[in-house]
Chain A
Amino acid sequence: MSKHDHAPALEYTRREAITKVATTSVAAGAAIGLGVWLTGRKAVGETELETIRDHRVQLPSGATQMVIARGPDATQNTRKAIEALGGMGVFVKRGERVLIKPNVGWNRLPNQAANSNPDVVAEVIRHVKAAGAVTVWVTDVSVNKAERCFARSGIGDAVRNAGAELVLPTDSRFRTVGVGGQLLRVAEVLWPFVEADKIINIPIVKQHGLSGATMAMKNWYGVVGGHRARMHQDIHRSIFELTTMMKPTLTIMDATRVLMANGPSGGSLDDVKAFNTIAAGIDEVALDAFGCSFLGLSASDLGYLTLGERAGLGTTNYRSLKLEEVSS
């Protein structure tokens, strides 16, 4: 015996039938609408690129444009250099987000002079914080594993102790920006370089195999991730165009210990020479020209300085600037 023998309510009620037809119609309408909307909706291609803002400040007229500070203590030299430029308040305003870019390229100890001096970095952080910066980021796209570079260089500890924020270069943190150069068009840069209101460069002076020397301008290599080794194919123009893209606020160059040979990674203390000098200013071409003197080079030896000077980025004749030399 079938359960349907008695033919119970086998038909839909009018209400059920209308609901059923309506549901199907809505589903069909949604399918058509979605389908038409999705057809050819998204093209494949590059979206418009963000760019890096101009971080420079105008110095008051008559102000010191470049300082050379000499003395046995790197912290003191840094302080004196900043003070000679009129104090950090000239460069950093209250509430700004500031990025500090030391050279932390290598898994080396401070005395091996492959990375910027941690005492200098700590002192700059303190001044930036005292000037009222709301956030201070410190970062670099290291060549060796970044965690180890920041640990062994002492810069990781310096950043933590001085109360700044360390940004490590992990893959997901790069942004694609337009460089706007003749050679370089698109680069992957770490996000704080896009976000920061002000950028302070803390390079170290080192010999560099390919480009001759790593100082202020060459330090911008460490902004870029991606396939940056390609820049070796035209290193001088690449360095020049990266500097043009960055437009930094202030540069504090560390020549406390200088790596004279086997750079930029070094390793042997025999290659390190103490000069106990800090130079600071807003003209990276001038600072690099000064830095050449530690390495026995002249500004004309470095293609990127020639390109920079020709483009009006600065002057290799740093003595033509309003220069102050202090010692402690």
Chain B
Amino acid sequence: MFIWLRRVYQTVFFLLFLYLVIVTTAALIGGHPIDWFLGFDPLVAVSTALSAHTISSSLTWAIPLIVLTLVFGRFFCGWICPMGAMHHVLGWLGRRRRVRARMESNAPRGVYRFKYYLLIALLLAALFGSNQVGLLDPIAFTWRAFATVLVPAVDNISLGLYQGERHFHSNTLITALFVTALSLNMVISRLFCRLLCPLGALLGFLAKFSLFRLQKSPDVCKDCNVCGADCQGAADPQGTLRVSECMLCLNCQEGCQRGGIHYKFLPSPELTTDRLDLTRRHTITAVAAGLMAVPLLRTSDGVDPRPHPHRIRPPGSVPEHDFLERCVKCGACMKACPTGGLQPAWNEAGLEGLWTPILVPRIGYCEHDCTLCTQVCPTDAIMPLTDTEKVGQPPDKEPVRLGTAFFNRGRCLPWAMDTPCIVCEEVCPTSPKAIYYKLETVTARNGEERTLKRPFVDPDQCVGCGTCEKHCPVFDEAAVRVSSVGETRDIRNRIMLKGGRV
């Protein structure tokens, strides 16, 4: 029956999602369309269109999904969404035994309107330049959890066989929220989808226009309500079907002993409803929250125009203002990064930039000839770069710079401890090397004369890749550290007058 077809779809799409996450690594990435799931995510497309006034070519795939939803309803949630599939299975595991209890658990509740208010607030914040849908969008949410928690966890217990051991800055909250979202199924199945999912809310809104809907046959229906016992969307198939909540899971069709539920073109207007029943008061509150969110967030320090020095963005990133309009914090770039240095930001980019990618060179540096992160970004927050564009060809073509390295002479061995070292100079990947040394003869504490190679940074050569910081033998806090100043994408974030920008 069709319910089995749905299960096949859910399984196939979930495995496809998992496959695309897993191949997002240097050895396997090949020509895989890593940005595919987020690319057809209508919420990401709508939100990015509002914030950046443009969408990347990957996001064009959202248009067919919008059109299909306008005609056929919210099938995405029940048939395609990989997070939906996980909720579905967990909801089934956590379901009540008694049919009557399930009917009650899966009955419509007024509180489920909350997701629409959340959607309104998120889209208004986007309109004012802060694209925050990625916090709750199920595809971005799942991508982030898989990229920074689940896959690394499996990899780390398998001795790093797949990608090498990975550790992520600030992923505790990512783990906690993902586990909570899934655990909610033990209370009420698909509670996340029904109550919080902003993508579900957007699709629910589009489903108001749908021409094909499930409808019961009043002539056979005895109002037993068994059809509603396993309804994923709490859409009330036995009463007046709530089209915006219906995920087309077809459990109602399966449940009805009399075969009384059919998917029909232009069904009875009395047996389905596309009302969202939003209240004026709550809508105004949501609008106000969305309007105020951006100005409130931007009162914090550590954001433009005085950014946190460790807000080091991946190569090819657009200027911060545009970056916050585009990045949905999916973590695909972090998953792709071969050194694991791309990390979800905690406070480095302000609350607004929570989980957006930053390079933490002590964890992993930016590989000189690598542009994997630029190939996987679904929203062009990181614009595609070729290796040649990234490395440049000094002095004719500038390389892409992420920041600049600085020595802390109080920790550096040749400077502070009269001890030879110069690992930083050895590993520096630019040519000529950005890190160079001067020979200096010093008298050590015991009176011995030593000639030392003391390192310096040439800011004209340094690209801020952090290879020196990663390899610095001063084990805990490196004696050479990169900060974002000098990054290509922001002509204001400069030290040197060279370049002529004041």
6 CB-based A-B contacts, threshold 8 Å:
A7-B218, A9-B270, A16-B269, A21-B211, A40-B54, A171-B305
List residues of chain B with CB within 8 A of the CB of A34. 49
Using A38-B55, A226-B492 as known contacts, say yes or no to A24 and B49 having CB atoms under 8 A apart.
no
CB of A185 within 8 A of chain B? yes
Bound Cα distance from A16 to B270, whole angstroms: 13
Bound Cα distance from A7 to B209, whole angstroms: 24
Partner of B45, one of A2, A35, A41, A233: A35
Q: Is A12 within 8 A of B266, CB to CB?
A: yes
For residues 1 through 57 of chain A, which have their beta carbon under 8 Å from a beta carbon of chain B? Answer: 2, 4-5, 7-12, 16-17, 20-21, 23-24, 27-28, 31-32, 34-36, 38-42, 44, 46
List residues of chain A with CB within 8 A of the CB of B319. 44
CB of B20 within 8 A of chain A? no
A40-B56, A185-B499, A226-B501 known; 7 other A-B pairs, CB under 8 Å? A20-B266, A28-B70, A35-B62, A36-B60, A181-B500, A186-B491, A231-B502
Of all chain A residues, the one with the shortest Cβ separation from B58 is A39
CB of A179 within 8 A of chain B? yes
Q: Is A44 within 8 A of B322, CB to CB?
A: yes
Of all chain A residues, the one with the shortest Cβ separation from B500 is A185
Considering residues B60, B63, B67, B497, which has the most beta carbons from chain A within 10 angstroms of its beta carbon?
Answer: B497
CB of A173 within 8 A of chain B? no
- B209 shortest CB reach to chain A, Å: 4
- A182 shortest CB reach to chain B, Å: 8
Chain B, interface residues (CB within 8 Å), range: 35 or more
Which A residues are closer than 8 A to B by beta carbons?
2, 4-5, 7-12, 16-17, 20-21, 23-24, 27-28, 31-32, 34-36, 38-42, 44, 46, 171, 179, 181, 183-188, 224, 226-228, 230-231, 233-234, 238
Partner of A17, one of B206, B266, B498, B502: B266
Residue-by-residue, is B458-502 near A (CB-CB < 8 Å gives 1, otherwise 0)? 000000000000000000000000000000000110111111111
- Majority DSSP secondary structure for residues of A touching B: mixed
Q: Is A38 within 8 A of B269, CB to CB?
A: no
Q: Is A42 within 8 A of B53, CB to CB?
A: yes
Partner of B67, one of A20, A32, A40, A224: A32
- B54 shortest CB reach to chain A, Å: 4
Q: Is A40 within 8 A of B57, CB to CB?
A: yes
List residues of chain B with CB within 8 A of the CB of A231. 497, 502
Bound Cα distance from A249 to B338, whole angstroms: 59
Bound Cα distance from A184 to B57, whole angstroms: 37
Which B residues are closer than 8 A to A by beta carbons?
45, 49, 52-57, 59-60, 62-63, 66-67, 70-71, 206, 209-211, 218-219, 221, 223, 266, 268-271, 305, 318-319, 322, 383, 491-492, 494-502
Of all chain B residues, the one with the shortest Cβ separation from A235 is B497
Partner of B500, one of A24, A35, A36, A179: A179
Q: Is A42 within 8 A of B71, CB to CB?
A: no
Bound Cα distance from A230 to B501, whole angstroms: 9
Using A2-B223, A27-B70, A44-B318 as known contacts, say yes or no to A183 and B497 having CB atoms under 8 A apart.
yes
- B70 shortest CB reach to chain A, Å: 5
Bound Cα distance from A183 to B223, whole angstroms: 82
Of all chain A residues, the one with the shortest Cβ separation from B42 is A31
List residues of chain A with CB within 8 A of the CB of B210. 24
List residues of chain B with CB within 8 A of the CB of A7. 218-219
Bound Cα distance from A179 to B56, whole angstroms: 34
Q: Is B496 within 8 A of A35, CB to CB?
A: no
List residues of chain A with CB within 8 A of the CB of B305. 171
Q: Is B63 within 8 A of A36, CB to CB?
A: yes
List residues of chain B with CB within 8 A of the CB of A234. 497
Q: Is B269 within 8 A of A12, CB to CB?
A: yes
- A12 shortest CB reach to chain B, Å: 6
Bound Cα distance from A40 to B53, whole angstroms: 9
Using A24-B210, A231-B502, A238-B497 as known contacts, say yes or no to A31 and B270 having CB atoms under 8 A apart.
no
Bound Cα distance from A204 to B210, whole angstroms: 74
- A112 shortest CB reach to chain B, Å: 28
Considering residues A10, A32, A44, A185, which has the most beta carbons from chain B within 10 angstroms of its beta carbon?
Answer: A44
Q: Is A28 within 8 A of B500, CB to CB?
A: no
Partner of B211, one of A24, A38, A41: A24
Q: Is A20 within 8 A of B62, CB to CB?
A: no
List residues of chain A with CB within 8 A of the CB of B270. 4, 8-10
List residues of chain B with CB within 8 A of the CB of A233. 496-498
List residues of chain A with CB within 8 A of the CB of B54. 38-42
Bound Cα distance from A238 to B54, whole angstroms: 38
Of all chain A residues, the one with the shortest Cβ separation from B53 is A42
Q: Is B496 within 8 A of A230, CB to CB?
A: yes
Bound Cα distance from A24 to B221, whole angstroms: 29
Q: Is B502 within 8 A of A224, CB to CB?
A: yes
List residues of chain B with CB within 8 A of the CB of A11. 268
List residues of chain A with CB within 8 A of the CB of B383. 44
The 10 closest A-B pairs by CB, nearest first: A185-B500, A4-B218, A35-B63, A10-B268, A42-B54, A233-B497, A41-B54, A230-B497, A24-B209, A44-B318
Using A2-B223, A227-B494, A233-B497 as known contacts, say yes or no to A24 and B70 having CB atoms under 8 A apart.
yes
Q: Is B500 within 8 A of A186, CB to CB?
A: yes
Bound Cα distance from A17 to B395, whole angstroms: 68
List residues of chain B with CB within 8 A of the CB of A12. 266, 269
Bound Cα distance from A36 to B63, whole angstroms: 8
Bound Cα distance from A166 to B221, whole angstroms: 79
Q: Is B211 within 8 A of A20, CB to CB?
A: yes
Bound Cα distance from A226 to B211, whole angstroms: 56
Using A11-B268, A20-B211 as known contacts, say yes or no to A39 and B55 having CB atoms under 8 A apart.
yes
Bound Cα distance from A100 to B366, whole angstroms: 50
- A111 shortest CB reach to chain B, Å: 32
List residues of chain A with CB within 8 A of the CB of B49. 34, 38
Q: Is B269 within 8 A of A35, CB to CB?
A: no
Bound Cα distance from A188 to B71, whole angstroms: 51
Q: Is B500 within 8 A of A183, CB to CB?
A: yes
Bound Cα distance from A266 to B319, whole angstroms: 40
List residues of chain A with CB within 8 A of the CB of B53. 38, 41-42
Q: Is A2 within 8 A of B56, CB to CB?
A: no
Partner of B501, one of A2, A4, A10, A186: A186
Partner of A27, one of B55, B209, B492, B494: B209
- A70 shortest CB reach to chain B, Å: 37
Using A4-B271, A35-B60, A41-B54 as known contacts, say yes or no to A23 and B209 having CB atoms under 8 A apart.
yes
- A38 shortest CB reach to chain B, Å: 5
Bound Cα distance from A109 to B53, whole angstroms: 50
Of all chain A residues, the one with the shortest Cβ separation from B209 is A24
Bound Cα distance from A234 to B502, whole angstroms: 12
- A239 shortest CB reach to chain B, Å: 12
Bound Cα distance from A171 to B49, whole angstroms: 28
Bound Cα distance from A163 to B223, whole angstroms: 83
Of all chain B residues, the one with the shortest Cβ separation from A228 is B502
Bound Cα distance from A39 to B48, whole angstroms: 11
Bound Cα distance from A238 to B500, whole angstroms: 9
Q: Is A2 within 8 A of B218, CB to CB?
A: yes
- B172 shortest CB reach to chain A, Å: 33
- A29 shortest CB reach to chain B, Å: 9
Q: Is A42 within 8 A of B70, CB to CB?
A: no
List residues of chain A with CB within 8 A of the CB of B494. 227, 230
Using A7-B218, A24-B209 as known contacts, say yes or no to A230 and B502 having CB atoms under 8 A apart.
yes
List residues of chain B with CB within 8 A of the CB of A39. 54-57, 59-60
Partner of B502, one of A20, A28, A184: A184
